[in-house]
Structure 1
Amino acid sequence: MLTTGPVPAYPEVLAALGKPVLYDYHPAFQTYYAGVVEKLRQALRTDNNPVIMQGEAILGIEAAAAALIARNDVVLNLVSGVYGKGFASWAARYGREVVELAVPYDEIIDPQAVREALRSRPDISIVSLCHHDTPSGTLNPLHEIGAVVAGHGAYLIVDAVSSFAGMDAHPQDAHADIFITSPSKCLGSTPGLSLIAVSERAWNKIEANPDAPLGSFLSLLAWKGASEPGRPFPVTPSIAEIYALDAALDRYTREGPENVWTRHAQTASVAREGLLGLGLSLWPKQEAWCAPTATAFKVPDSISDVALRDSLLHDHGILVSLGRGETAGKILRIGHMGASAEPGFARTIVSALSGILSRPLHP
């Protein structure tokens, strides 16, 4: 399964899912939960305790918009792909105005363009960025953009769902005020949780925002301090998912973050080299813009993306992802995340594609 997520879970994660489910008010579980939050804090390399929301990462992204964006905020939404574009609907729901800085979906956001946008609209107070937009396979320069946003004094919301734990991407280093990621991508765990780092100044803004949700499944505020033993959870947490996250964090730490990042990068490099060797073209205009966690390549004009995807699945037992939105029908995407980030898997799919493309393929 070489999809762009969810990805195959590590064996340790699958084993953890089989542990007995404890009552969430049991002191043993509350102490255990606090320990998992601390492990996550260390993995994220952030000073504040992160929040674990009980839903797939799209919950965390929408919750970030609802909490941080106030009715008078002007949001600069950076768009280089489908998911970056999609954030505008939430930003418009909560803020006064959304300004869009967009590039073609085979390009990346230029930090200088962000600087110029902020200069032209000094009233921009929040900037939103999708670090790695998987339907494009491109990787935006997070740290450079973060520095520009910090210099302007705006708040930065980062969708790091498919980048964190697959590369050197951490909230404080990137000046991110809200940094959302998922356990079901590069951490190699299961879908069902949103992992969110919130800066101290973002918490202050959220607490001062009269429209920030309370008594809602979207409420970030409800989860602040939820890891403190003895404090009730806003809703029943997904106990088994917490076990799985714990196992994934242990594995990440045991292998060593730098080693994990290297494994992801090596896998992507092997895939790109192999695809180019077959005469295929990468979707991003420049190879330097390709993400280490997914490789998007153009499907030859003479064949169908679905037919090629299905041939990989039925003839070789390899599942990859189709394009989405503007890239639908144009590309296939190979995921290199978590357990699928192994150079041997990249060689396997290149070999399979070589065989498929050497013979006529029809829809």
Structure 2
Amino acid sequence: MLTTGPVPAYPEVLAALGKPVLYDYHPAFQAYYAGVVEKLRQALQTDNDPVIMQGEAILGIEAAAAALIGKDDVVLNLVSGVYGKGFAAWAARYGKEVVELAVPFDEIIDPQAVRDVLRSRPDIGVVALCHHDTPSGTVNPVGEIGAIVAAHGAYLIVDAVSSFAGMDVHPQNVHADIFITSPSKCLGSTPGLSLIAVGERAWAKIEANPDAPRGSFLSLIAWKDASEPGREFPVTPSIAEIYALDAALDRYAREGPANVWTRHAQTAMVAREGLLGLGLSLWPKQEAWCAPTATAFKVPDGISDVALRDRLLHDHGILVSLGRGETAGKILRIGHMGASAEPAFARTMISALSDILSKPIH
């Protein structure tokens, strides 16, 4: 399964899902949960305890918009792909105005362009960026952009759903005020949770925002300090998902983050070299813009993306992802995340493609 998410879960994660389910009010589970939060804090390299929300990462992204964006806020939405584009709907729902800086979906956001927009619109107070938009296979220079946003004094929301744990990106080193990721991508766990780092400055803005959700499934505030001893959970947590996350974090720490990032990068490099060797074209205009966690390539002229995807599955047992939105029908996407980030899998994929493309595709 070389999809762009969910990805194959590591064996340790699958084993953890079978553990007995504890009562969430039991002191033993509450102590265990606090330990998982601490492991996640260390993995994210953040000073504050992160929030674990009970729903896949779209919940965390919408919750961030609802909490941080006030009705008087002007939001700069940076768009280089389908998911970046989609954030505008939430920004418009909660804010005063959305300014869009967009590039073609085979390009990346230029930090200088961000600087220019902020200079022309000093009233921009919140900036949103998708670090790696999987339907494009590109990765944006979030560190450079974050430094520019911080200098402007705006708040930065980073969607790192498909990049964290697959490359060296962490909330504080990219100046993210809210940083959202998922256990079901590069951490190699299962879908069902949103992992969110919130900085002190962002917490202050959220708590001062009268429209930030309270008493709601979307409430970030409700989950703040949820790991404190004796504190009640806002809703019943998914115990099995917490077990799975714990196992994934242990595996990440045991292999070593830098080794995990290297493994992802090497797998993507093998895939790119193999695709180019077959005479295929990468979707991003420059190879330097390609993400180490997913490789998007153009479907050859005269061939259906669905037909090529289905041949890979039926003839070779390999499942990849189709394009989405503006890239639908134009590309296929090979995921290199978590357990699928192995150079051997990329070589197998290239061999299968070579076989299929040597024959007529019906």
- Tell me the TM-score normalised to structure 2 length: 1.00
Match of 2:230 in 1: 230
Match of 2:255 in 1: 255
Where 2:173 maps in the other structure, the secondary structure is coil
User: What is the Cα deviation at residue 229 of structure 1?
Assistant: 1.5
User: What is the Cα deviation at residue 300 of structure 1?
Assistant: 0.4
Deviations 1:201-222 (A, max 9, x none): 0000000000000000000000
Where 1:98 maps in the other structure, the secondary structure is strand
Letter in 2 for 1:291: A
Letter in 2 for 1:286: Q
User: What is the Cα deviation at residue 7 of structure 1?
Assistant: 0.1
Alignment of 1:195-274 (within 5 A): 195-274=195-274
Letter in 1 for 2:33: Y
| 1:148 and 2:148 correspond | yes
User: What is the Cα deviation at residue 191 of structure 1?
Assistant: 0.1
User: What is the Cα deviation at residue 296 of structure 1?
Assistant: 0.1
Where 2:243 maps in the other structure, the secondary structure is helix
Letter in 2 for 1:174: V
| 1:286 and 2:289 correspond | no
Structural RMSD (CA): 0.2
Match of 1:105 in 2: 105
Letter in 2 for 1:358: S
Match of 2:31 in 1: 31
User: What is the Cα deviation at residue 302 of structure 1?
Assistant: 1.4
Alignment of 1:108-187 (within 5 A): 108-187=108-187
Letter in 2 for 1:57: A
Match of 1:14 in 2: 14
Letter in 2 for 1:83: Y
Measure the CA separation in 1 of the matches of 2:325 and 2:48. Answer: 36
Deviations 1:312-358 (A, max 9, x none): 00000000000000000000000000000000000000000000000
Measure the CA separation in 2 of the matches of 1:102 and 1:184. Answer: 28
User: What is the Cα deviation at residue 126 of structure 1?
Assistant: 0.2
User: What is the Cα deviation at residue 27 of structure 1?
Assistant: 0.2
User: What is the Cα deviation at residue 83 of structure 1?
Assistant: 0.1
| 1:353 and 2:353 correspond | yes
Match of 1:315 in 2: 315
Measure the CA separation in 1 of the matches of 2:293 and 2:33. Answer: 29
List alignment gaps of at least 5 residues for structure 2: none
Match of 2:70 in 1: 70
| 1:343 and 2:311 correspond | no
Match of 2:329 in 1: 329
- Tell me the TM-score normalised to structure 1 length: 1.00
Measure the CA separation in 1 of the matches of 2:320 and 2:247. Answer: 26
Letter in 1 for 2:322: L
Match of 1:305 in 2: 305
Measure the CA separation in 1 of the matches of 2:199 and 2:100. Answer: 24
User: What is the Cα deviation at residue 113 of structure 1?
Assistant: 0.2
Measure the CA separation in 2 of the matches of 1:48 and 1:307. Answer: 47
Letter in 2 for 1:349: M
Measure the CA separation in 2 of the matches of 1:75 and 1:307. Answer: 41
Match of 1:95 in 2: 95
Measure the CA separation in 2 of the matches of 1:70 and 1:55. Answer: 23
User: What is the Cα deviation at residue 70 of structure 1?
Assistant: 0.2
Runs of 4+ more than 2 Å apart: none
Measure the CA separation in 2 of the matches of 1:214 and 1:227. Answer: 18
Measure the CA separation in 1 of the matches of 2:356 and 2:169. Answer: 36
Where 1:334 maps in the other structure, the secondary structure is strand
Measure the CA separation in 1 of the matches of 2:3 and 2:276. Answer: 20
Where 2:75 maps in the other structure, the secondary structure is strand
Letter in 1 for 2:251: R
Deviations 1:225-248 (A, max 9, x none): 001120000000000000000000
Letter in 2 for 1:224: K
Measure the CA separation in 2 of the matches of 1:312 and 1:18. Answer: 32
